């Protein structure tokens, strides 16, 4: 039986409630009717460590913490760092003590969260550091693992990035199909400002002529230049003259991000920091 537990809260209470629900769902998925392998063990009190097998920016501590306590509330965990801290290879992240059955049953779910979220934070930090000499902010996107958007966007923040819109409800973002369905950029923008006057409005454009059209409108928060060349981004920055915020997106990676940032845009959004991730190598070992 899984027990929802709130022994330690590292982030705000609303997020903690969502974390608990997410962790319980993951544990139910993994354990189902019972951990048959662990049921073969004689339960006893043991010690264990979570160890980093490579350098990384760690994220997901509360997810892992709740995973262990949800299996057995008497498991003791001593974390030696906070979310957002950098670690080196073979560094101990956490010391555990408690039921061997509880620790082993929770191990995979706890590490899954830590490995995935640390990967997002690490990848974000890597790219943020590349453009640290500019004023550009790195944004995430909605290209997240279903059900884990809150977690991944939190990891982006831990890596020094900035969250884009959370979903379809907190920002009006007019993309190609919205514009086509509305008849024009101007019509789409007018409808958006009329219906949602208190929400930010972002318009995605694919060429300089569309960018120029957006500059003539009012009530626009930001322009997203999708797949613009370096020359076109430079021209867009020059045309805007600081009057509107510019976001660059599309096919931007570690090899091109510096050149894009140096055009003078305000934001760069990259879906890969949450979508194309490789789990950080972490392990749990019994002492």
Helix/strand/coil for 172: strand
How many Å apart are CA 57 and CA 121, to the nearest integer? 6
What is the distance between the alpha carbons of residues 66 and 8, in angstroms, rounded to a whole number? Answer: 8
Is the alpha carbon torsion for 139, 141, 146, 149 positive or negative? positive
Q: Are residues 244 and 142 in the same domain?
A: yes
Question: Residue 152 is part of which domain span?
Answer: 129-275
174 lies in the same domain as 269: yes
- Number of domains present in the structure of the chain: 2
CATH number of the CATH domain containing 159: 3.20.20.70
State whether 136 and 264 are in the same domain: yes
**Rounded mean pLDDT, 97-105:** 98
Which tens digit of pLDDT belongs to each residue from 217-240?
A: 999 999 999 999 999 999 999 999
Is 2 a member of any domain?
no
Q: CB of 97 within 8 A of CB of 35?
A: no
- Collapsing DSSP to helix, strand or coil, 199 comes out as coil
Q: pLDDT digits over 27-85, tens only?
A: 999 999 999 999 999 999 999 999 999 999 999 999 999 999 999 999 999 999 999 99
Per-residue pLDDT, 170: 96
Strand boundaries in the chain, DSSP class E: 45-52, 56-57, 76-79, 86-87, 92-99, 137-139, 172-174, 201-205, 222-226, 245-249, 267-269, 282-286
Measured between alpha carbons, how far is residue 128 from residues 134, 159, 162, 165 in Å? Answer: 10, 8, 10, 19
């Amino acid at each position: 039986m899984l027990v929802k537990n709130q022994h330690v809260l590292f982030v705000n209470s609303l997020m903690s409630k969502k974390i608990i629900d997410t962790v319980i769902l993951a544990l139910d998925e993994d354990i189902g009717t019972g951990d048959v392998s662990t049921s073969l063990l004689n339960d006893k009190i043991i010690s264990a460590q979570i160890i980093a097998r490579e350098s990384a920016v760690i994220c997901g501590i509360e997810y892992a913490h709740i995973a262990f306590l949800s299996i057995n509330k008497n498991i003791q965990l001593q974390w030696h760092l906070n979310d957002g801290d950098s670690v080196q290879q073979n560094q101990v992240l956490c010391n555990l003590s408690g039921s061997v059955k509880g620790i082993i049953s929770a191990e995979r779910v706890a590490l899954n969260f830590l490995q995935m979220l640390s990967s997002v934070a690490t990848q974000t930090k890597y790219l943020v550091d590349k453009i640290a000499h500019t004023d550009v902010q790195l944004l995430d996107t909605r290209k997240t693992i279903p059900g884990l958007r809150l977690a991944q966007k939190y990891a982006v923040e831990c890596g020094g990035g900035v969250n884009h819109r959370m979903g379809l409800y907190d920002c009006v973002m007019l993309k190609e199909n919205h514009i086509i369905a509305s008849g024009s950029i101007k019509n789409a923008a007018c409808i958006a400002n009329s219906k949602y006057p208190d929400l930010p409005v972002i318009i995605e454009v694919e060429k300089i002529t569309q960018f120029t059209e957006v500059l003539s409108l009012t009530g626009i928060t930001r322009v997203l230049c999708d797949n613009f060349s370096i020359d076109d981004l430079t021209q867009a920055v020059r045309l805007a003259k600081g009057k509107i915020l510019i976001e660059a997106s599309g096919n931007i990676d570690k090899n091109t991000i510096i050149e894009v940032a140096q055009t003078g845009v305000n934001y760069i959004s990259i879906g890969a920091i949450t979508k194309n991730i490789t789990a950080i190598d972490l392990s749990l070992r019994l002492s």
